[in-house]
A and B are shown apart, each in its own frame.
Chain A
Amino acid sequence: MTDFWAQVGALARRSIVRTSRQPAAVIFPLIFPMLLLLVNSAGLKASTKLPGFPTDSFLAFALAVPFIQGALFSTMNAGTDLAKDIQTGFLNRLSLTSMRGVALIAGQLAGVVVLGLVQAAFYITVGLIVGVDFAAGALGILALFGFAAVVSISFGALGVFLALRTGSGEAIQGLFPLLFVFLFLSSMNTPRDLIDVDWFRFVATVNPVSYLIECVRSLIITGWNGDALALGFGFAVLIGIVATTLATFALKERLVRT
C-alpha cells in the first residue's frame, strides 16, 4: 500500500510540475473566467433590478461561474495531458513499471485538484478584492475549496476518461466547446426561476451544471443552504463516480499489458 501512495504522489507531482512549466495551462484558466466575469458583470448588471433577483451585486452572483469554468479547463488539461502520454508512448513507459493502473488515474486527478485549489484561491481572492461579501463566512470559503476539489476530481476524471477512450488530444479539444454548451445552458447568468423562456428554463433545470453553480452561489450570496449544497455536492460526486468508473474501464482497455 505504501508503494501505491508513493506512486500516486509521484504521478501527482509530475502532473503538477508539467502543468506549472506550461504558463498557458495555468494562466489561461485563471484569466479567461475573470475576463468573462467582468464582461458579464458589466453587461448584465441590470439583471439585479429584476424582482426576486437574489442579490444587488451581479459580481457576487456571477462569481460562482469561474469555479465551474475552471473545472472545465481542468477537464481539458487532464485529458490532453494524458492523451499526449498515449500518443507519445509515455504511457507505455509507465506501463512497463510496477505502476498500478488506479495510481495513474489517482495521480493525474491529484494534480488536477491542486490546480483546482489554486484556481479557487485566485477567484476567491479576486472576489474579496472587488468587495464581494461571502455570506457563509470563513467556513463557507473553506467549503468552497472543498467543492472546488470535488468538482476538479469529477471533471478531471471526465477528461481522463475521454483521453483513455480516444487517445487523442485533438479529440478532447474538439469536445471542449460541447462542455461549454452545458455551462451556457445553465443558470450561470440568471436564476432558474427568473428565466422567462420555457425551453431554456427546462434545459437549465435538467442540466446538472446549474446545481453546481447554485451550490457555489449559495455560499457566496445566501449563506448556508442545505438543499443547494446537497444538490451541488451530490451532482459533483455523482459525475465523479460515473466518470471515474468509466475511466477505470477505459484504462483497462488502454493498458493491454498482460
Chain B
Amino acid sequence: MSRDNSIEVEGLVREFKKGPRAVDGIDLRVEPGEIYGFLGPNGAGKSTTVLMLTTLLPPTAGTARVGGYDVVKDGPKVRSVIGAALQEAALDPMLTGRDHLRLQSTLQGIPRVERKPRANELLERVGLSEAADRKVGGYSGGMKRRLDLALALVHRPRILFLDEPTTGLDIQSRTALWDEVARLAREDGVTVFLTTQYLEEADVLANRVGIIDHGHIVAEGTPAALKAEIGLPSVHATPVNGADRERLAAALAPYGEALGSASREVVVRLREGLAGLPAVVRAVDDAGLTLASMEIQAPSLDDVFLAKTGRSLEGAGAEAEPDAAEPTA
C-alpha cells in the first residue's frame, strides 16, 4: 500500500451547468506533512476543489492524486486515506457525540474492540468527554466543529481536508482548533489541506498558502515569501497637531512612496525596509514634529491578495460557488 501523503493536482477544472468554471485549471502540490492553506473569498472555488479532491465531485478535466491515488479512478482508496471536515459540520442533532463516533468508526471499518477506546481517545483530544453523551442538537458551534474534526480522524487518516473549519467560531474555539491541527501535522505527520477566508488563520497555521480567485490560483508560496514578494513595510505616523500633517508628509517623503490615508495619518512604504526606520525617526525629530503615534506595519496576506487581484480579500466574496449537485452536461 502506498504511504504517499501528498496531494498533486494538474489542470483541475470543474464546470457547472449554470455558471462559470468554478475551478479553472489549477495546479498545486502539497508535500507530505505540510499544512497547505487554500485562501480565497466566497465563491473563489475553494470548496469545489475540496469536493473534487475528496472524491465527492468528479472533475470536468485535469488530474488529481491524493495519497498516491487518482481521485477519479481510485475513489475508494482515496477515501480510505483521507479524513474530511466539510464546510458545514453535518451532524445529526438527535445523536450524541458518542453515537456519531460509534457510527463513523463502524462505517470506516474499525474493528469492534477498538471502537470504544478510539472514541474515548478522540473525545478527550477534542475536549468533548463531558459532553459525549449529550445530543449534538445542544452543542455550540465550536463543539460541533471539534466533533466534526474528531469524526474526520476516526480511521487515522494520512491526509486531512478541512473546509473553512473555523468559520463562525469565537476566538477561543478557533485557537483550540488551530492547536489541534498544528499538532496533527507536527506529531502525527498528517498532511492538512485547509481552506479558509481568514488571513490570520492561513498566516498562523499554513506552511504554504495558495490564493485562489475566480477559479485560478493567483499566488502560491510560504506566507513570508508571498508577503516579501509584494512588499516592504510601511510606517504609519500621526502628528499630535493636525496642522502638521503636510510637514510630516514632506519629512517622510524621501524615505519611500506615500500611500493614501483618509485620516491625518501619514503612510509611507519604506523603500529600504526596516533598515530605513532610524532615518525616519531622525527626520521627524529634525523637523521638530511631535507624533501622537507611529506604527510599522508589515505587509499582510490581504496586501498580497490586493496586489494579485486588485481587490481586498476582506469583502471580495461576491458570489457563492455554484450548486455542486448540478454537474455540467
Contact = CB atoms under 8 A, between A and B. Distances in A.
Contact of A98 (B58, B109, B151): B109
A10 B107 contact: yes
A22 B82 CA distance: 33
Contacts, number: 81
Contacts of A90: 90-92
Contact of B135 (A21, A85, A93, A95): A21
B94 A96 contact: no
A92 B86 contact: yes
Contacts of A89: 86-88, 90
A7 B109 CA distance: 8
Contact of B54 (A14, A94, A96): A96
Contacts of A7: 106-107
Given A6-B106, A14-B99, A257-B55, A93 B94 contact: no
Nearest to B51: A92
B327 interface: yes
A227 interface: no
Contacts of A92: 56, 86, 90
Instruction: Please classify how large the interface on chain A is, using the bins under 10, 10 to 19, 20 to 34, 35 or more.
Output: 20 to 34
Nearest to B148: A93
Contacts of B90: 88-90, 92-93
Instruction: Please classify how large the interface on chain B is, using the bins under 10, 10 to 19, 20 to 34, 35 or more.
Output: 35 or more
Interface in A14-30: 14, 17-18, 21-22
B75 interface: yes
A97 B107 contact: yes
Interface in B44-83: 54-58, 71-73, 75-76, 78-80, 82
A168 to B, nearest CB: 12
A95 to B, nearest CB: 6
A256 interface: yes
B95 interface: yes
A94 B102 CA distance: 13
A99 interface: yes
Q: Of residues B90, B99, B151, which shows the largest number of chain A Cβ atoms within 10 Å of its Cβ?
A: B90
Given A89-B86, A98-B108, A10 B102 contact: yes
Contacts of B80: 98
B104 interface: yes
B84 interface: yes
A98 B117 CA distance: 20
B210 to A, nearest CB: 22
Interface of A: 3, 6-7, 9-11, 13-14, 17-18, 21-22, 85, 88-90, 92-99, 167, 256-258
Given A10-B107, A89-B90, 19 more contacts: A7-B106, A7-B107, A10-B102, A10-B106, A14-B95, A18-B95, A89-B88, A90-B92, A92-B86, A92-B90, A96-B56, A96-B79, A97-B107, A97-B108, A99-B107, A167-B325, A256-B57, A256-B58, A258-B58
10 closest Cβ contacts across the A-B interface? A89-B90, A258-B75, A97-B107, A10-B106, A18-B94, A90-B90, A21-B94, A99-B107, A258-B55, A257-B55
